[in-house]
């Protein structure tokens, strides 16, 4: 089939070669953005007198009709026309006649494809920001219900100090808040217009780049035409922000998986977000959490993939850059899907407060309290640490916990111990007293919830 660019060719490629080079199987996802960009472009060509206004009007009307069809999924594409840009141009010419061939005046597919992707990502990033907010909302609601629910806090996955379950949940709220900030800040760089950069050098036609940028709602235009068509840092930034977000979700998933195991039994994942086993009737698997953890790998892969594609390409456009799309589409789908599933999973999860409470009473995570107790009475902390360490050892030998040790034993270790240590050893007291800024004390957690709500209400 004759190509739209076939003038200097004497031979056409075979279909299997065309297939290898074509991006239409995946870049048809950009169909609406592509037509919107073309509408802005032709409107500008008419306004600047580059095309007679009746031609511009005809093309505009033809494009609007195509946009309607695209929205209804009624457009057909062919690998013979390589990509979304040429497919749309060909369809336009078929529909309105040779005047459609004037659309590409003063433009290149290089500025066109970059424009499409800026428009596409702008839309998706706004959606992702919204979904992060929804997940944060769910987290705050759960946190509010569990301010005084205690859970063992871990370091090295060893019991460390008890914390408020709300405090643990809110840790993820603030991670997500930074993720949201990063996506929001990236909009500044996404919302820039490459349109009018041409193939790489600009154009001899008296175009108005600011006008097309305004029509498309861009905040500014790329300053340099070579930069405009040859960088993909805005996509890389998106992939990098997505990787960080997925890393946060993945760590949370790992905890949900652990907590829902027989060994922990801290939470119960709702049936709607779990699956069974085809052989073991008793199984209830936290599949959704595992999948999100797994999908984090493909998002990292998309980031590293595109970084690698870009690292050796000379300025300006190179066909290598066609490889920027699938990873971007895949990441959008993965991130939006993961955020939606996650919000549902947290909103419906059951919290076994009694199991958690029992857990914090049956460990040595109150040992720091004792050391602090002595330190407050003037014992150098290092010495206090040693004394309490010995007491823990005594307990382990006897198979009991610190709260079970009689006062006489304590007195033997240090005369400074008094009856009030038993109060200090209570995990509830231990948590409630940690009211340093950002700590797990109930008063601090309540403050944090208020702050989190306020943060969500500010754009």
Say if residues 104 and 78 touch (Cβ distance below 8 Å). Answer: no
Would you give the binding string for ligand ARG spanning residues 369-408, x where CB under 6 A is met? ----------------------------------------
109 is a contact residue toward ligand ARG (CB under 6 A) = yes
Distance CA 45, CA 205 (A): 9
Q: Is residue 248 among the annotated active site residues? A: no
29 is a contact residue toward ligand ARG (CB under 6 A) = no
Find the helix or strand (DSSP H, E) in which 228 lies: helix 225-230
Among 193, 322, 334, 338, binds ligand ARG (CB under 6 A): 322
SS (H, E, C) 177-188: HHHHHHHHHHHH
**Which range of residues in 70-78, 105-113, 283-291, 424-432 is near ligand ARG by CB under 6 A?**
105-113
250 is a contact residue toward ligand ARG (CB under 6 A) = no
Distance CA 341, CA 56 (A): 46
| DSSP secondary structure letter of residue 101 | G
Nearer to ligand ARG, 110 or 366 (CB): 110
Distance CA 343, CA 286 (A): 15
77 is a contact residue toward ligand ARG (CB under 6 A) = no
Nearer to ligand ARG, 27 or 231 (CB): 27
Catalytic residue, from 85, 156, 164, 167: name it: 156
Nearer to ligand ARG, 23 or 225 (CB): 23
Nearer to ligand ARG, 9 or 381 (CB): 9
113 is a contact residue toward ligand ARG (CB under 6 A) = yes
Distance CA 405, CA 134 (A): 48
**Residues 421, 422, 425: CA angle, nearest 5 degrees:** 85
Q: Is 314 exposed, middle or buried (0-12, 13-18, 19+ CB in 10 A)?
A: exposed
51 is a contact residue toward ligand ARG (CB under 6 A) = no
110 is a contact residue toward ligand ARG (CB under 6 A) = yes
Say if residues 342 and 251 touch (Cβ distance below 8 Å). Answer: no
Among 79, 195, 321, 341, binds ligand ARG (CB under 6 A): 321
Q: Is residue 277 among the annotated active site residues? A: yes
What are the residues whose beta carbons fall under 8 Å from the beta carbon of 257, sequence distance 6 or more?
286, 289, 290, 293
317 is a contact residue toward ligand ARG (CB under 6 A) = yes
> In whole angstroms, what separates CA 291 from the centre of its chain?
15
Among 83, 111, 237, 444, binds ligand ARG (CB under 6 A): 83
Cross-strand pairs, 285: 275
Nearer to ligand ARG, 2 or 382 (CB): 2
Catalytic residues: 156, 277
Residues that bind ligand ARG (CB under 6 A): 23, 27, 83, 109-110, 113, 317, 319, 321-322
């Amino acid at each position: 089939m004759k190509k739209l660019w076939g003038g200097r060719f004497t031979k056409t490629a075979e279909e299997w070669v065309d297939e290898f080079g074509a991006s239409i199987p995946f870049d048809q996802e950009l169909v609406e953005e592509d037509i919107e960009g073309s509408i802005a472009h032709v409107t500008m060509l008419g306004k600047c007198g580059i095309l007679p206004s009746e031609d511009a009007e005809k093309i505009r009307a033809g494009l609007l009709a195509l946009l309607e069809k695209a929205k209804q999924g009624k457009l057909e594409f062919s690998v013979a026309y390589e990509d979304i840009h040429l497919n749309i141009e060909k369809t336009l010419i078929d529909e309105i006649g040779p005047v459609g061939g004037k659309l590409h005046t003063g433009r290149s597919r290089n500025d066109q494809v970059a424009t499409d992707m800026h428009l596409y990502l702008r839309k998706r990033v706004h959606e992702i920001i919204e979904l992060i907010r929804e997940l944060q909302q769910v987290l705050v609601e759960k946190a509010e219900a569990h301010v005084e629910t205690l859970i063992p806090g871990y370091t090295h996955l060893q019991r460390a100090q008890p914390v408020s379950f709300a405090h643990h949940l809110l840790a993820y709220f603030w991670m997500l808040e930074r993720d949201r900030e990063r996506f929001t800040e990236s909009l500044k760089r996404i919302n820039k217009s490459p349109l009018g950069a041409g193939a790489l050098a600009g154009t001899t036609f008296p175009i108005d780049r600011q006008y097309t940028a305004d029509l498309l709602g861009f905040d500014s235009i790329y300053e340099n035409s070579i930069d405009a068509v040859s960088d993909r840092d805005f996509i890389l930034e998106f992939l990098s922000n997505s990787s960080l977000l997925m890393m946060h979700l993945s760590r949370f998933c790992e905890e949900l998986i652990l907590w829902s195991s027989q060994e922990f039994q801290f939470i119960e994942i709702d049936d709607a977000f779990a699956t069974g086993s085809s052989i073991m009737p008793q199984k209830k698997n936290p599949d959704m959490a595992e999948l999100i953890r797994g999908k984090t790998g493909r998002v990292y892969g998309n980031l590293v993939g595109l970084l690698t594609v870009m690292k050796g390409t000379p300025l300006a456009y190179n066909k290598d850059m066609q490889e920027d799309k699938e990873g971007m589409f895949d990441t959008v789908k993965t991130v939006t899907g993961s955020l939606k599933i996650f919000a549902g999973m947290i909103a419906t999860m059951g919290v076994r407060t009694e199991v958690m409470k029992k857990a914090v009473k049956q460990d040595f995570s109150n040992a720091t309290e004792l050391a602090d107790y002595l330190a407050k009475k003037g014992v150098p902390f290092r010495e206090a640490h040693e004394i309490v360490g010995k007491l823990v050892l005594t307990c382990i030998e006897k198979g009991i916990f610190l709260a079970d040790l009689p006062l006489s034993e304590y007195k033997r270790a240090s005369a400074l111990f008094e009856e009030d240590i038993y109060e200090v050893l209570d995990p509830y007291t231990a948590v409630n007293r940690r009211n340093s800024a950002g700590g797990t004390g109930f008063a601090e957690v309540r403050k944090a919830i208020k702050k989190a709500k306020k943060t969500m209400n500010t754009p």
